[in-house]
Each structure stands twice: as C-alpha cells, then as structure tokens.
Amino acid sequence: MSKMGRLVRRGNVYYHRASIPADIKDTYPKSEETFSLRTRDYREAVKLVRVAAVEVDLKFEEHRRKIAGQRLVQQARAVVEAEQKAKARVKPEEKPKPKNSEKARPRAKECEAPKAKPQAKAVSSNPQDGDKKTEGEFSLKSLGNGNITSSHRFNDLPSIRMLLGDALRMPELTMDQINQIVHNFIVRDLNEFENWKIDRERPLTEQEIDRYFDNLDVCDFVIMEPVNSSDYTQFQHVAKDELKRIGLSLPTSSLSFKRLAWELTKAIQKVNRIKMDRLHGRYGDQYADPQYGSYLPMGEKKRKSKKPEVETTITMRKAVDKFTKHKVRTGAWNKGTIMDLNPKIELFLQVVGEKTLVSELTLPQVRRYANKVYGLSGKTTGSKITPKAIINHFSIIKALLTWLKGQGYGLRDGLKGVLVVEGKKRKHSSPIKAYTSQDLHKLFVESRWYAQDLINKRHPSKFWVPLLALFTGARLEEIAQLLTADIRQVEGIWCMDINNNLPPQAGKSRGLKKSVKTEAGERKIPLHPFLLEDLQFLDYVQGVDPNGRLWPELKLSTAKQKYSYAIGQWWSRLKKEAGFGNDKNFHSLRHTFTNCCKQSDIDRSKTKEVLGHEQQDITWGTYAEKYSVKILYADVISRIDFGVDLTSLKNSKFVKK
C-alpha cells in the first residue's frame, strides 16, 4: 500500500490507516494500524502520514524478524536434537583383546598420564575472526527469543546458513538505538563547536560573529525546505558516517536507515539553531546541561533532562490554532475576521515553518518574514504594497507573538523588534475619497437604478440605507444590523441608536447578531430633518415588525458574518455604472459626511462623537460624559447641507404619500 493510500479522513480529522501484510496477519496483535494524525489540514496530514507510514513499516519489519527468529530457533533446535539422537543410537566399537604374549609386558599406555579429551574449537564472537571457524562448526547465540545461548556443532554449515537467511545478514536498528545515534551526533557537533570557540588565540570579534551568524542563517534557510517536505535523501551521507562510527553498515533501502537519515536531518536543523543561540551567549538549550549533553554508549537509554517549567514542544501550527480559538472564544474574532486574517497568518507560517517549535523560533526567521511582506504587491494596482497594508500584516503577527509569550511557550525575547515599517513616516492619506455635490446628484438623482425606481420593491433597504449613511455618517454594517427598536426618541428627538444589544423580545434564538467596532461606536445619532419630514422615514419604520430587524431582507452572510455584504456588492455595481472608480465606494458616504462637517466648521469633538471615533483628549474623552442628543442635533446634524437638491426622492415608491 502506498503511503498516500494510508491517508483517510474521518469527519474533519485525518487518520493513518494500514492493513496488516498477509505474511504476518495471523501473528500480528492488531487487525489494522489505524490512528489519528491530529490535524485537519490536508497538506500537514500528507507530511505526517509519510512519517507515520515509515514508523508502521518498521513495526511490521520488527514483527517479521521476531517471528522469523522464533521459527529459526525451533528449526535449529530440532537439528541439534536430531544430531544428538543419531549419535546416541550408534554403539561404540569393541576393542580387540590383547594376546597372551602381551600380558607379561607392561602396558605403556596405562603408565602414561591420561590425555585431555579433545574439546570443540571455540568460536570467536569477534566479527573479524569469523573466517577462523572450521567447517562443521557454528555459533548460535541470542537468536530469536534467546533460548539458545551455547555453541553447538553442526555437520552441514551451508544448510544452516540457508536456514538462517537474511536474519544474519540484515541487522535493523530499534528506535532507542536510532535516538542514541542522533543524540551522540548532536553532542559531538556541539562539542566541536564549543572547542572551536575557545581554542583560539584571540576572542571572536563582532564582525566575525556576525559573519558566522549569517552563514548559519543561510544554512538554516537551506535545511528548512527538506525538513518541511520530509526529504531525508540530502543527508544520507551523514547517516552512513554515523553508522560507520559504531561499526555498522545498513543498506540505504532498509527502513531503519531511512528513519535514521530522517532523524538526523531534523537534528542538523536543531544543532544549527542551537549554534545561532550560543553564538550570542544564549545557553538555555538542554544540551548545555552536563547531565544531559554527554555521550551515551550504545544500549544505554537516554537520560531524561529536568522537566522544563514551560511547554516548549508546541509547534507554530498548533500554537496558531490555539491562538485563533482563544480569539473566537473571547469574542474578538468571528468567521469573517478569520477569513480576512488567515492569509496573513498562513504567509507567516509558510516562511517560518509550521512544524517549527515556538521555543525555537529565531530572529532570522522573523526577519525573513518581514522581508517577504515588504516584497508583496497590492491586490488592485499590482504595485508595491502600501505602508498601511504592511502595518496590517505586522499587527496580527505581533498580537500572535505577544499571546505566545504570555502563554509560556518559551518564545524568545525581541522577535517583534523587526516588525516595523521601514522608511520615513508619511502623513496618513486614505485612498478612499468623498463624493462631491455633482457625484451625489449623479448617484441619487440621475442614476436609473436608484432615482428611477427600478429597484425591486421587496428591497427598500437599497433606498434607505445609502441615505442614512449619507445623513448620519454611520458605517454600512452599523445600519444594516439595526433592529426596529433602535429607531427611537431620546430627549424628544428621533435617533438611530447604534449598539450591540439584543433585547429579550428580539431573541438570539431568531438568529440575530449585532456588534460595534469600538466602545466609542456605541452612540445615538439624531436623524436629519430631510429624512423625517421630506421622506417620512418613520412611516417605513412603523410598517416593520417592532420586535424584529429593520431590514429583514438583508440576510447574514455565512462567509463574512455580516448583514451588509449583499447591499455592499449592489452599491459597487451601481457606482461603477455611474462611472466611478475604486477610489469611491459605499464608505465614501461616511467620508462625505465628515468632509461636510469640516467645511461647515462644525466642532471637531462633536463630529467625532457622531462618527463613533475615540476622543484622544483625556479631559473630554475620559472625565466628561458624552454630548446630549439635543446638542448633537443642533450643532451637527441640523447644519448638514451637501449643496445638492434631493427633493425629487419624495416621488419614490418607497416614500408614503
């Protein structure tokens, strides 16, 4: 069965599943080897199933050797017993009686000292002495279950060799032996590195440290690709050298050799990163402990190091999954947020490696990610990415690193220092522009899709939502999620109450959802007289279910988790037909309201409160209460004038006569 054929999916989780080979099916303790890979990501599962397949094949091969050894012991024992029985059946020949003449003479042989009985020639256990064995002699030791431990004589050595077969010629390594070889490789390489540092006529200069660090950084980048793709073939020569050190030779096609090469590939990456840390004086790795960082003779189990105080074995992929679940559980993220931020996080994992341990994340890896972001291009223009987009990328990764540090996963200090926007800080300028008076006339008066009532009558939201955005400066989602109860009187003035409250009569059981962007986003905006008096907006409100949503035709988007998705797409088509480009969209209505306040010399702090922006001034923003609705109506809303005549909208079929 191919390794990819072993990958199966149960629900959302991937599993390894392998049937037992026919030659060991009757003796194997399981009917199949099935276990979870503990991942929902297909690409990660493909990599994990390759490693798991090698481990399972090693189990199968080890079981074969065990069964073959037991059978060989039984057959060899049968040969020995048959030889002993055959010798027991042969009677010793009778010696001829001595003649009378010989009786008088003394028997010299009887006077001689008895000779020692000839012993079987000892068989050397040294492999180099193997050629000294005589034909008809064979040593059978520690074979199979270990029942035969003494040497026996056989008359047919070629048949015995044929009987034992590959069990004598194909040694295999256990996982403990592989781990010991890898451990000794790491310790030896690190010792050589330390000897190189101290056995010098003078200390390393700062330039030499930087140059050597850069070389290690390049090596780390080269090693990352085979580690991520589970490709051990590039380091097979290292496995051969390590086996040669202990006097073993395995064919490259054997499973234990492949596993050793793969473990050494990961060890090379590990050693390289430990060297980078030690080069800057960080000796926090476990091999710095003398009780752990010493050689182990073959057969001795690895000594356990002290249990770390923090969890340092979590990979970046698992850490990101936990970070995402934390954000969703706390209500900071929803499905729409995850869809927007997921490409940025995946780019980070692609550069640093999703299998990289959090505790082994290095500054060069984060620097490579920063350089990758700097080289991105814009989605629409195709030109170099803007500083604002770079900040958006860096902010989410900074939040991730901060969270990882707080969770105690052993994250190094100073990694966030490279996630800054390079170059001079430029004055913030939004690519979105406000509509002019001519633009508003073209959209609300001349447009055949808006002014000429070609809108479907079942969708009054397409008539009212743009007007509310224009005369209140509210965001699209804030208007789209309104309940009927949110249009109410406060201090005798009709207002649009923007909040994230779901009254009991509305009920979450009806699938309702509300949210505000910031704490300042919760506010009450007075309604403009044009909406109340000329267009009779309250007549529409009274005709809607008082316990439901103000725009029941706007459904919650599954992907974006927003009510405004459909109407936002509709407005994009409308403004495109009217001849507007990408610099003007629905959010431009909010810009238009803000620009009108500025040109009318309306107080800045009051404008910010209507728009739902934070008050940066500590006096007004912290100690003082919000402005009353009456003040906002008199000083802001009633002074709004866009310089365009929209009275023709009174003839719309959505305005009751």
Q: Which residue type is seen at 503?
A: P
Structure tokens at 493: 């003035």
Q: Return the CATH fold of 437-651.
A: hpI Integrase; Chain A (1.10.443)
pLDDT by residue (tens digit) across 485-542?
999 999 999 999 999 887 665 444 456 778 887 788 899 999 999 999 999 999 999 9
> Which one-letter amino acid corresponds to residue 9?
R
Structure tokens at 333: 């993220």
Output the CA torsion 272→276→278→280 (10° steps).
170
DSSP string over 65-96: HHHHHHHHHHHHHHHHHHHHHHHHHSPPPPPP
Q: Can you tell me the distance from the alpha carbon of 517 to that of 542, in angstroms, rounded to the nearest whole number?
A: 28
Strands of the sheet with 32-36, listed across from one edge: 7-10, 13-19, 32-36
Q: How many CB atoms lie within 10 A of CB 55?
A: 13
In terms of phi and psi (left: phi > 0; alpha: psi -120 to 50; beta: otherwise), the region of 109 is: alpha
3-state secondary structure of 204: coil
Locus of tokens 């490409």: 343
Beta strands in 137-290 (DSSP E): 137-138, 152-153
Give the model's pLDDT for residue 292.
59
Question: Cα(183)–Cα(295) distance, rounded to whole angstroms?
Answer: 8
**Which among 261, 235, 266 is positioned nearest to 250, based on CA atoms?**
261
pLDDT the model gives residue 510: 56
Placement of tokens 């994009």 in the chain: 572
pLDDT, tens digit, 9 for 90 and up, residues 441-488:
888 888 766 655 445 455 788 889 999 999 999 999 999 999 999 999
- Phi/psi at 434 (5° precision): -80, 155
Amino acid at 546: P
Return the residue matching tokens 């403009």.
528
Q: Is residue 400 within 8 Å of 323, Cβ to Cβ?
A: yes
Give every strand in the sheet of 493-498, ordered side by side.
487-490, 493-498, 523-526
Burial class of residue 230, CB neighbours in 10 A (0-12, 13-18, 19+): middle
Q: Kindly give, in sequence order, each residue whose CB lies less than 8 Å from that of residue 206, ignoring residues fewer than 6 positions away.
A: none
Ranges assigned E (strand) in 463-522: 487-490, 493-498
Return d(Cα 213, Cα 277) in angstroms, integer: 9
Per-residue DSSP letter, 530: I
Q: Tokens for 274, please give them.
A: 């430990």
> Residue 235 is encoded by which pair of tokens?
């380091």
Residue (of 264, 310, 263) closest to 284 by Cα position: 310
Strands 523-526 and 493-498: antiparallel
Place of tokens 């649009």: 496
* The pLDDT value given to residue 526: 95
What are the residue ranges in the chain where pLDDT is below 70? 1-4, 72-73, 89-171, 288-312, 377-383, 422-430, 448-458, 503-511, 559, 616-622
Query: How would you class 508 by CB atoms within 10 Å of its CB: exposed for 0-12, middle for 13-18, buried for 19 or more?
Result: exposed
Which residues have a Cβ under 8 Å from the Cβ of 152 and sit 6 or more positions away?
A: 76, 80, 138, 140
DSSP letter, residue 307: P
- Long-range contacts (CB closer than 8 Å, 24 or more residues apart) made by 602-608: 602/635, 602/636, 602/639, 603/635, 603/636, 606/631, 606/632, 606/635, 606/636, 607/636
In 407-558, DSSP assigns E strands to: 487-490, 493-498, 523-526
> Which tokens is 573 given?
């088509």
Q: How far apart are the first and last CA of the chain?
A: 77
Per-residue tokens: 319:
């850490």
Of the candidates 143, 140, 136, 152, the residue with the CA atom closest to the CA atom of residue 80: 152
